[in-house]
């Protein structure tokens, strides 16, 4: 008999095919988010679980999780949706998918930078809604990207990939990281040993930091006040590093020219005021959404489960 694998969301075709070769798959009929109770029912008597961003894998989940489940693999790098302390207490291994979504996420960061700077949402809406009347000298004038200063908070794999792309736009790159990188990884960027030291040097600011007690709500009124007037913020990190009300106030006041956001606190139930702002470029958490990247993430999640079932070390654990 094949081991039973509980899967909470529909998988990419290639990942689903590989999973079905090794496991008796137990999953839902559609692709709607499941409640905690529904996930627990899916996991009852299973050998492993494959969960996703947004699933409520919290302390209550582990309190009621079937004892047969000894590994939970998440289809993500981030584990904000998982109570890691509760998992450890339960004796459940948590696997994630690092190292395979760097380029896709960096590409989306650049889509946000360009889209926010060049008022792409407004322009696309005019064409789509047939409200574009003519070319004219003052029509939808945006912000030049080339040659400007780019600040990066978090110079890990994705931050470095964003910096590499910025070189093609002749940008002056500045970054904050918990430690300074070796010179061969800095892409010629200037290191700042504090976020406060970085912010005055950011015409554009790209966020690539994890969600931690220290970073949650970090982008607030005080933080924004240290940026140059007219700066542009983009976020492909975690939604909760931004204080939504403070960011919205800065966008309304003109302190910030624009924001490009791919992640949100409480997504998909985002702060409604974002939708009413012309100077926001908004995406529905598409950072890793390429066929190649999502397949790689799924394969990495299955690598974790395969190793555990075979009695080997799980390669990517949290």
Catalytic residue among 285, 292, 294, 300: 285
Catalytic residue among 118, 119, 157, 238: 238
Identify whether 157 is a catalytic site residue.
Answer: no
What tokens were used for 271? Answer: 């702060």
Angle at 192 between CA 143 and CA 256, to 5 degrees: 30
Identify whether 238 is a catalytic site residue.
Answer: yes
Catalytic residue among 38, 60, 267, 271: 267
Q: Which residues are catalytic?
A: 238, 267, 285
């Amino acid at each position: 008999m094949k081991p039973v694998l509980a899967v909470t969301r529909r998988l990419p075709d290639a990942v689903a095919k590989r999973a079905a070769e090794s496991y008796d798959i137990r999953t839902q009929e559609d692709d709607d988010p499941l409640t905690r109770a529904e996930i627990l029912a899916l996991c009852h008597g299973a050998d492993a679980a494959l969960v996703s961003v947004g699933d409520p894998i919290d302390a209550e989940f582990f309190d009621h999780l079937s004892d047969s489940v000894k590994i939970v693999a998440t289809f993500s790098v981030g584990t904000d949706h998982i109570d890691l302390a509760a998992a450890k207490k339960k004796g459940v291994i948590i696997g994630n998918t690092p190292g395979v979504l760097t380029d896709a996420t960096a590409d989306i960061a650049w889509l946000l930078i360009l889209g926010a700077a060049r008022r792409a949402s407004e322009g696309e809406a005019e064409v789509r809604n047939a409200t574009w009347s003519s070319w004219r000298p003052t029509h939808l004038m945006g912000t030049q990207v080339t040659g400007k200063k780019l600040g990066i908070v978090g110079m890990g794999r994705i931050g470095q990939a964003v910096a590499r792309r910025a070189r093609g736009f002749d940008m002056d790159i500045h970054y904050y990281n918990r430690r300074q990188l070796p010179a061969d990884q800095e892409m010629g960027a200037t290191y700042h040993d504090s976020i406060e030291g970085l912010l005055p040097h950011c015409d554009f600011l790209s966020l690539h930091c994890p969600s931690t007690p220290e970073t949650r709500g970090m982008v607030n009124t005080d933080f924004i006040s240290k940026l140059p007037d007219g700066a542009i913020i983009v976020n492909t990190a975690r939604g909760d590093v931004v204080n939504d009300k403070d960011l919205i106030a800065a966008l309304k006041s003109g302190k910030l020219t624009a924001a490009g956001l791919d992640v949100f606190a409480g997504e998909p139930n985002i702060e409604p005021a974002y939708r009413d702002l012309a100077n926001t470029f908004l995406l529905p958490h598409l950072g890793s959404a390429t066929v190649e990247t999502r397949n790689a993430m799924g394969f990495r999640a299955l690598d974790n489960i395969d190793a555990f079932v075979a009695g080997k070390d799980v390669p990517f654990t949290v």
